[in-house]
Every structure is written in C-alpha cells, then in structure tokens.
Amino acid sequence: MKAVIPAAGNGTRLSPATKVLPKEMFPLIDTPAIHMVVEEALSAGFDEVIVVISGVTSIIKPYLRKAFEDDKRGKIRFLVQDEPYGLGGAVLSASKAVNGEPFALLLPDEIFLGDTVAITQLIEAHYVKGASVIGASFVEEDEVSRYGMIILEPGLNRVAAFEEKPTATTSRQAMSGRYILTPGIFICLQKMKNNNHGGEISLTDALNLLLEDESIEMIELEGNRFDVGNKLGYLMANIEMGLRRPDLNGALKQYLMEVRERLIARGDEHA
C-alpha cells in the first residue's frame, strides 16, 4: 500500500510567513511538519510515500531528499500539482501513482503525538472491514465550523454523511487528516473536476459521492491531535513537543509556571 501526502497548498491561514516558506516546512521545535508526517508513513510500513507539491512548495523536495537520503524503509516520490484545484485536486493527481489500489492519505496540517502511530490504527481497521476508513477526533461544539464533520449511522461506526464546516451539527467527530481510501475516490474526484469548471475540488464532497456506492468506516484516533495549519494549533504543538523532550522539558515547565504566576499576579481570570 502507498501513502499520499498533499503538500501543494498556499497556506493562507499562516500568512504572511507562508509568502516565503511553505506551511509544511514550518518547524515544530526543530523538525518541519512535513518531515514528521513522512516519518509517520515510513514507520507505518508503507513501501512508497508520494508527496504532492506545487511551484509554491517546491522547496519541500530537496529538503525531504536530504533528510531521508539514507533511509531504507521506503521510497519517497514527488508529483507536481500543475493546476490549483485544492485538496481534492492534489489527491486526484496521485491517481496513476497508486495504481488502482487502496492507499493512505495523510494531511501534513494534522500532527498526532502519542504512543500509537495514527495511520496504523486505520490500516488495521481497513484490513478488517475492507472499506475506506476515516480517522476522527472529538471537537467541542464551538469548533465544528472549522472542520469536516462525520455523521454516523445510529449505533455504528459506519459513516452516513460528511458535512463540510457546518455552522451547527449534532456530530462532534471531526475528520482528522488521516484516511485509508479505496480507488473509487478517484472516480468521484474526476467527476467533480469535470463538473466544477476550474474551481477547487472538495474532498469532503467526493467522499459523500463515494458513499453512494461504498461504505466508509470511522475510527476515533488515539493520541493528541494538533491542527498545525492554524496559528494556535501550531503554537500548542510546539509547546506539547517541548514538554515531551528531555532536553527542553524542565526549563519549559519552569517558564510556563512563571507565565502563570505573572498572569495570576495581574488578575487574569483565565490563569
């Protein structure tokens, strides 16, 4: 099975820094997000990792080649997304490379920190169910408008529908940037490309189209999830990683306690 990592976007949520550096190259302490996601795919045992880049994100290619030049676990291959059709277009550009087989999709905006590699949880479920599997994370009610939300069939982990950034929904399960997808998704993405007259192709809409012909399962992922494509998520991921590192843990804890004490001293009710 191959893994696909789309890294061809403009990163507008982290502008203005993304005017000169792709968001996937932003370091988490000292390691770019794209490096961490490629490492996740290789550690999960994928024999080939396909990274989709664009002219804007072309710096990713020489970095990953250098960073993984001595790594024997799997091949890293690069594809260029020539036309700006959004996330769905980036996934569609990998259709020939995955060669008609189920594949993993890992979005580098989403980082998981925990004891279990996130994507491996979906691989196991896919082999049991033989279907597409979507990774999910619980979000609070005030966060649902930021994510694609998963509506489940009553009492099951089978997906009934997907909602893209709804203003309100009964679901608290957000799509979390980790997928195992059957090749049927490419048929759905191509249909949408043919009908959208040059606009962005929505992966969420393509998944709803796939539901008309195939079942899709949901797995709630273990580990702490961070949306590093937005400023707060990026900051929180850096702090969490710092607390997990022996060389930074002690000094960082001390600093955070000092910050809290300063907030308390000036009467900040949220300290």
The domain spans of the chain are 2-227, 230-271
Helix axes 203-210, 184-195, angle to 10 degrees: 120
C-beta separation of 39 from 118 below 8 A: no
How many CA within 13 A on the CB side of residue 110? 22
For the segment 37-49, the average pLDDT, to the nearest whole number, is 96
Q: What are phi and psi of 199, to 5 degrees?
A: -85, 180
- The CA distance from 154 to 197, in Å, is 37
Q: Quick check: 248 and 29 in contact, CB under 8 A?
A: yes
pLDDT at 128 over 70: yes
For the domain 2-227, what is the CATH superfamily, name and number? Spore Coat Polysaccharide Biosynthesis Protein SpsA; Chain A (3.90.550.10)
**What pLDDT, in 10s, does the model give residues 102-115?**
999 999 999 999 88
Residue with tokens 């949306």: 227
Span 234-252, pLDDT tens digits: 999 999 999 999 999 999 9
**Mean pLDDT across 77-101:** 91
Contact 14, 231 (CB under 8 A): yes
| Residue 197 clears pLDDT 80, i.e. is over it | no
pLDDT score recorded for residue 56: 84
The answer to whether residues 173 and 138 touch, using CB atoms and an 8 Å cutoff, is: yes
Instruction: Compute the distance between CA of residue 94 and CA of residue 163 in angstroms, rounded to an integer.
Output: 24
- pLDDT greater than 70 at residue 271: no
